[in-house]
Amino acid sequence: MKRSWRFFPALWTAKLTTAVLRLFHRNATHLPGLVALKLCPTFLGDIGKPKTIIAVTGTNGKTTVCNLLDDILPDCGVQPLNNRTGSNVNGGILTTFLNAATLTGRVKEEMAVIEVDERSALFVFKYMQPDYLIVTNLFRDSFKRNAHSEFISDILNQAIPKKTKLIVNADDLIGSRLAPNNDRITFGIAHREGDWEVRQNIVCDMVACPYCNTVLEYDFVRYNHIGRAHCPKCDFASPSVHYEIIAVDEEAAKLTVRTPRGEEQYRMIGDNITDWYNTLAAVTMLRVLGFDEQTIEQSLQKQQIVKSRFERIDIGDKAITMLLAKGQNPIACSRAFDYIRRTEGKKAVILLIEDYYDAKHTSENVAWLYDADFEFLNDPSVEQIVIAGVRAADFRVRLLLAGVDDSRIVCMREEVATADAVDFERVDNAFVLFDVYTTMFADATRERLENRLNGQNEEVSQ
């Protein structure tokens, strides 16, 4: 392999940077890669790579899918290289390969599972051409970064190498159409009781046929543009499905999957349909790689959703549910709101989902609130909605426009104080919705809620 003369100085300098950062107890997950890139712009192309590279991208779910693959592959006999402890943008991905490389630039791992931010794909795929690319879904996201799904799909279409085989969600009418000339395997979930005939979400980014502009007819809608549809005028339709969940046994926690090899059963991780999509994406990839059903299922028995994304704590007859809902991401928040309204019992909802870094300068763009389905929180089972932070008033206005009675809304300035506002006399479950950058507030809020409930239980026992 012909390398730039800059490669080895960049490699050794970046490794030295890693050592120094760790000496001072810093994570060293991003900066060393940026140092390598600065010294050698072609560093990612020059460094050694595993024989098989799996990339995972998409608006929502890519971290969960990567974590599942990283956890299951060792049980299949493969220890993958991954960026689980680093970022999914240029610097973090470079650092991942840098840390795995020897001083000669060789990487010993036979397989890599790399999470790739959609916008980073133009740089990453120029130098690291994946053998497989899993696309979980494509939605509109943060206005300041990923804007609209057409913007992101255009970036990915430019970036995806022709040799890459796609693993795509057949129920996503946008993601499933990426790189139309590439080979692909599809996964999806068959029509289920409870799917909508008419969309309930505010946002649908796939309304018209991409070929003839005729309004699409949805066979069923799961949420937003996720579902199955066809054009009544031309032959455009959702693609056929290779790996499809055809039955869900929630009591036994089993998913029945129709595959090219016949029906197979896998453990159901989580009770949210997005968890099932993520599990199915990982299973599809593993089966395409040739790993057997029994090994995958045995490994799935040990897996669970990471607590940083979902956690339920039961204390007596009450519960606290921690739920990641990415701020400024209207689809992720809508999915969280829908999950809450479908959960049994009386609930309080604590919203800690404003953008932490924008909020510090009080410059957050709140237009995304009007793409998110706050109407789902206008449900008789939601007794309280507690909001905190500098944008609490904006959230209150949005909730009022969604029809939520003002008597059920509590606005506060301090985030952690929201725990004191929850009325456990009225609710069974307190949901804490938090952004990836507000986990410090969420953890402190959870601890305060736990202390309150444990204190109440002690009083009852006395």
Please say if the pLDDT value at position 446 is more than 60: yes
Of 44, 39, 93, the C-alpha closest to 66 is: 93
What band does 95 get if pLDDT is binned at 50, 70 and 90? Answer: very high
pLDDT for 134 equals 98
Please tell me the least confidently modeled range out of 210-219, 233-242, 412-421: 412-421
User: Can you give the pLDDT at residue 460?
Assistant: 45
The predicted-structure confidence for 336-362, as pLDDT tens digits, reads as follows: 999 999 999 999 999 998 777 666 665
- Average the pLDDT over 281-300 and give the result: 97
SS (H, E, C) the chain: CCCCCCHHHHHHHHHHHHHHHHHCCCCCCCHHHHHHHHHCCCHHHHCCCCCEEEEEECCCCHHHHHHHHHHHHHHHCCCCEECCCCCCCHHHHHHHHHHHECCCCCECCCEEEEECCHHHHHHHHHHCCCCEEEECCCCCCCCCCCCCHHHHHHHHHHHCCCCCEEEEECCECCHHHCCCCCCEEEEEECCCCCCECCCCCCCCCCCECCCCCCECEEEEEEECCEEEEECCCCCCECCCCCEEEEEEECCCCEEEEEECCEEEEEECCCCCHHHHHHHHHHHHHHHHCCCCHHHHHHHHCCCCCCCCCEEEEEECCEEEEEEECCCCCHHHHHHHHHHHHHCCCCEEEEEECCCHHHHHCCCCCCHHHHCCCHHHHCCCCEEEEEEECCCHHHHHHHHHHCCCCHHHEEEECCCCCHHHHCCCCCCCEEEEEECCCCHHHHHHHHHHHHHHHHHHHHHHHC
Residue 168 has pLDDT above 80, yes or no: yes
User: In order of start, what are the domains of the chain with their CATH numbers?
Assistant: 7-184+268-300 (3.40.1190.10), 310-461 (3.90.190.20)
pLDDT at 462: 44
456 pLDDT higher than 80: no
Q: Is residue 115 over pLDDT 90?
A: yes
Sign of CA dihedral 322, 408, 424, 453: positive
Per-residue pLDDT, 374: 97
Q: State how far the Cα of 422 lies from the Cα of 349, in Å rounded to an integer.
A: 9
Mean residue pLDDT of the chain comes to 92
- Matching residue, tokens 């991409």: 210
The confidence score (pLDDT) of residue 390 equals 83
- Report the length, in residues, of the chain: 462
pLDDT, average across residues 177-198: 94
For residues 385-389, average pLDDT: 93
pLDDT tens per residue, range 169-184: 999 999 999 999 999 9
Rounded CA-CA distance 82/362 in Å is 36
- pTM assigned to the model: 0.91
Q: Percent of the chain, pLDDT > 90?
A: 78
- For the stretch 73-93, pLDDT in tens is 999 999 999 998 778 888 899
